[in-house]
Amino acid sequence: MTTDADKLDSVVAAIAAEMTARSERGTVADYIPELARVDANSFGLVVVGADGHVAAAGDTDVPFSVQSVSKVFTLTLALGLVGDRLWQRVGREPSGSPFNSIVQLERERGIPRNPFINAGAIAVTDVILSGHKPREALGEIVRFMRFLADDSSIVIDDAVAASEQRTGFRNIALANYMKSFGVLENPVNYTLGVYFHHCAIAMTCRQLAMAGRFLAHDGKNPTTGLSVVSPERARRINAVMLTCGHYDGSGEFAYRVGLPGKSGVGGGIMAIAPGKASIAVWSPGLDTQGNPLVGQIALEILTKCMGWSIFAA
């Protein structure tokens, strides 16, 4: 008899084999020079089920730069610090614009559309930083990720952080622009320093899938039963991931995959099948919206095979 775990194992293995063999893989981000060094042929997929079963295939234990996937964890921390007051500093509507767009900010008086576009994530980082030194805020973020993943080996890749710090002129512009509207409380270079460093956290697919478990299980770690956030907060973070997690590709991701998900330009996507699984996929090549090309295809196949779309009965 095949169990659900057996089925999941074989689906994950088949997807990894198919995705590894694909020739069209998108383009590795090179606007952060250090990210351009990553092998575009890498592919990893890890699914952690409600019962703790881990289905893994491909490059599951190679650390990669989580980049914008870290914004889910900073959003969670900031909500923990200031609660719903956060929504005075940042909206929760899809932007329909690229992740580093500046035009909307002028029309909306420096209030970013949502916490996942760069401007929004910088504003969220500023909330975490207030009342702390940059080093303390960063320590808090890394410790939170380690706690969620149950893995103390997670660290920041300093070369990636330095690389973005040297070349992140667009983010520097966004932050200064928000500062001019009084949306940032801290010195711009402090807020940006924390932002660049949390984007540069390196994690494996396995660590990332473990870290997402609380979002799949009403805010709790399903193995220990420990609560991270309330069920209501987990539901709402998932909602923002669904509507905004892939920037101007969020509609397409919902249409094809049907799960809350957050992408990063390092090639990672964390996706949540509520009640069922936390998923991490890594494929460094990106599509024209800056979302991982092969990773999205892998998730589309996975949700179809497992019947996990949140829109299916």
Active site residues: 68, 71, 195, 247, 265
Amino acid at 225: G
Dist CA 211 CA 146 (whole Å): 8
73 binds ligand GLN (CB under 6 A): no
Taking the complex as a whole, how short is the minimal distance between the CB of residue 68 and ligand GLN, in angstroms?
Answer: 3
Q: Which is nearer to ligand GLN, 121 or 306 (CB)?
A: 121
Taking the complex as a whole, how short is the minimal distance between the CB of residue 242 and ligand GLN, in angstroms?
Answer: 17
SS3 313: coil
User: 224, 281, 291: which is closest to 56 by C-alpha?
Assistant: 281
The single residue among 42, 95, 101, 118 that binds ligand GLN, judged by CB under 6 A, is 118
The count of other CB atoms within 10 Å of the CB of residue 268 is: 27
Q: Which is nearer to ligand GLN, 120 or 264 (CB)?
A: 264
Residue 270, strand partner residues: 262, 280
Q: Which is nearer to ligand GLN, 37 or 85 (CB)?
A: 37
The single residue among 100, 104, 223, 289 that binds ligand GLN, judged by CB under 6 A, is 100
The single residue among 171, 186, 207, 278 that binds ligand GLN, judged by CB under 6 A, is 171
| Angle subtended at Cα 222 by Cα 219 and Cα 225, rounded to the nearest 5 degrees | 80
Residue list 10-49, contact with ligand GLN (CB under 6 A): none
Dist CA 300 CA 298 (whole Å): 5
199 binds ligand GLN (CB under 6 A): yes
Q: Which is nearer to ligand GLN, 68 or 238 (CB)?
A: 68
163 binds ligand GLN (CB under 6 A): no
Given CA atoms 70, 71, 77, 78 in this order, what sign does their dihedral have? positive
Largest Cα span, the chain: 64
Taking the complex as a whole, how short is the minimal distance between the CB of residue 32 and ligand GLN, in angstroms?
Answer: 7
Residue nearest to ligand GLN according to CB distances in the complex: 68
Residue list 238-297, contact with ligand GLN (CB under 6 A): 264-265, 290
| Contact (CB, 8 A) for 79 and 89 | no
Residue 168 carries which DSSP code?
A: -
Residue list 203-232, contact with ligand GLN (CB under 6 A): none
User: 215, 257, 285: which is closest to 64 by C-alpha?
Assistant: 285
User: 214, 310, 208: which is closest to 256 by C-alpha?
Assistant: 310
**Number of residues lying near ligand GLN (CB under 6 A):** 11
- Strand 201-203 relative to strand 268-273: parallel, antiparallel, unpaired? unpaired
67 binds ligand GLN (CB under 6 A): yes
Amino acid at 8: L
Q: Which is nearer to ligand GLN, 59 or 164 (CB)?
A: 164
Q: Where along the sequence are the contacts to ligand GLN (CB under 6 A)?
A: 67-68, 99-100, 118, 164, 171, 199, 264-265, 290
